[in-house]
Structure 1
Amino acid sequence: MDLATLIGLIIGIACILWGMYDGGNPSAFWSLSSLAVTFGGGLASTIIAFTLDDFRNLLKVLPKLFKRKEQSPYKLIQLLVELSQKARREGLLALESNQEEIEDEYLKKALELVVDGVEPEIIRDSMQLELDNMSIRHGKCISIFKTLAAEFPAWGMIGTLLGLINLLRSMDDPSQIGAAMSLALVTTFYGSILANMICVPVATKLQELSTEEIRIKEMIIEGVLSIQAGENPRIMEHRLKTFLSPEQREDYERMIAGGSSFQANRLQ
């Protein structure tokens, strides 16, 4: 469970409810027609801008916002070092017997190419192509939420204009002006909430998740090519540590000094 997403939603909803209940009537913030105009209109515009396949892919990505399988870069470095040591000790073909123990499909596929004797340039191009296509898919999901973030406030304003038109038509009855004005502003309220509490944060979160996944996969590419080239495991480890931030490198060194196994799969 991604606690940051959950905590953010709880705090945001609590703040909105507090504002609604503090000296006001919460029922004044509810309008089904306003919600239909704001949410339905924004969604319709976004559907026009993308394809149904893009939305189907989006539905597969959304669960990662709350429950994602994190891959520790520390464990990955240790695993690649162990694979390198095994390859130098027993040869590249020895890696084939342990591929079933590796959970990461991207790493498993790269090792299969190494075991099959594929040229390093072809391995890099193949794995990089897969990485680029993954980045494109992630980019479309992020673009959907960015488009929604732009469309919801716009449709909220459209709903407000519709409400103001109806308001002007009822100017002969002053008792209805306040209620009509309130209803006209509700659509803008909905558009702002949907954009700033949901769409913008989700787009940012998806971008962060995509960046982290790309970083991990680039680390895998460098590690696997180093294994194929027969480089010293310590040299490879030093190169992979360049993917870590200065703080992460310090944590990694402390864990190494403390004899941490990182709970990585031991390949005997």
Structure 2
Amino acid sequence: MKATTAIGIALACILIALGAIMEGTQLTALINIPASLFVFGGTFGAVMAGTSFERVKAIPRLYQIAIKGEEPDPLERIELMARLAEIARREGLLALEAELDQIRDRFTRKGIQMVVDGTDPEVLREVLEIEIEALEQRHGDARRVFEKAAGFAPTMGILGTVLGLVHVLQNLDDPGSLGPAISSAFIATLFGVGSANVVFFPVANRLKELTDAEVRLRIMTLDAVLAVLEGENPRVLREKLVSFLPPELADQAAAGAQSSAGRASAAGAPAGAPAAEPVAA
């Protein structure tokens, strides 16, 4: 589900608010502009000071990716690579050039282009591995903005609380105001710890999950591209790529392969002849 991150953050906020209400807390007490400035303004400034302005400008887009981003479909990639392997074995590697415009993924397209160009397998592997490492580095740099924010926010909350308590100590001559003032001071800590653990860390973790999924898919694609270059049997290639998948997806891929094999056998059989038994994946 694309909206898992947004649903999780919203659910956490609602349940925390519900718990506070059950404890007798008035939610209107949480509307505290000074505490918000301490925590969110201070955190934003600290993050900006520790990274580039380009990274800061990318924060809204990264939130969008974390909330709407969907992990790539490895089954679709397996089908694509198996089809390309079949074309390469039947018509030769140069026939893959006609397929390049239909390959949407830039990494896969680059690998197949290098196959068409007759690139040495070791050079091809080295180039694509560099692409994977560069992807991890770029995504890691972007994700660290949220990890830094998660580290700064609780500290800013404590700073806001300390400053609030300083104000309380300066007004000890008015006992009636001590309770609300102390309560207001601790709201900054609540904002800092809450935002770190409900927003910043979950977003960073979600971005890491998306990166890990993309890296796994690219490693699988790299092996597939090398197999196409070496003229590997499409069925063997499919078996190899399915081994990258978790059990539930592997079963789904195996069922799809059997169905495809059954349809192909039926289509190629003489009229009235029974379809050949599909090869188990």
Q: TM-score, normalised by structure 2?
A: 0.87
Residue deviations 1:127-163 (CA, integer Å, cap 9, x gap): 1111111100111122111111111001100000001
**CA distance, structure 1, for counterparts of residue 83 and residue 70 of structure 2:** 22
**CA distance, structure 1, for counterparts of residue 259 and residue 29 of structure 2:** 60
Deviation at 1:248, TM superposition (A): 2.2
| Structure 2 residue 99 is matched with structure 1 residue 102 | no
Paired residue type of 2:41: G
| Structure 2 residue 4 is matched with structure 1 residue 4 | yes
Contact conserved, 1:20 with 1:29, CA < 8 A, in 2?
A: no
Max radius of gyration: which structure? 2
Match of 2:15 in 1: 15
Match of 1:248 in 2: 249
**CA distance, structure 2, for counterparts of residue 183 and residue 108 of structure 1:** 57
Match of 2:276 in 1: none
Contact conserved, 2:2 with 2:70, CA < 8 A, in 1?
A: no
Deviation at 1:243, TM superposition (A): 1.1
Residue deviations 1:199-251 (CA, integer Å, cap 9, x gap): 11111111110000000111111101110111112222222122112332222
Paired residue type of 1:96: E
Number of residue pairs the alignment of both structures matches: 261
Deviation at 1:254, TM superposition (A): 2.3
Match of 2:49 in 1: 48
Of residues 46-55 and 20-29 in structure 1, the stretch that sits farther from structure 2 once superposed is 20-29
Q: TM-score, normalised by structure 1?
A: 0.91
Deviation at 1:68, TM superposition (A): 2.6
| Structure 2 residue 77 is matched with structure 1 residue 92 | no
Unaligned ranges ≥5, structure 1:
262-268
Paired residue type of 2:140: G
Match of 2:190 in 1: 189
Deviation at 1:17, TM superposition (A): 3.0
Paired residue type of 2:11: I
**CA distance, structure 2, for counterparts of residue 56 and residue 117 of structure 1:** 41
Identity of counterpart residues, as a percentage?
32
Give 4+ residue runs of structure 1 displaced > 3 Å after superposition: 19-22, 56-61, 258-261
**CA distance, structure 1, for counterparts of residue 139 and residue 105 of structure 2:** 19
Residue deviations 1:58-78 (CA, integer Å, cap 9, x gap): 444332222235431112111
Question: Aligned to 1:28, what secondary structure does the other structure show?
Answer: helix
Paired residue type of 1:211: D
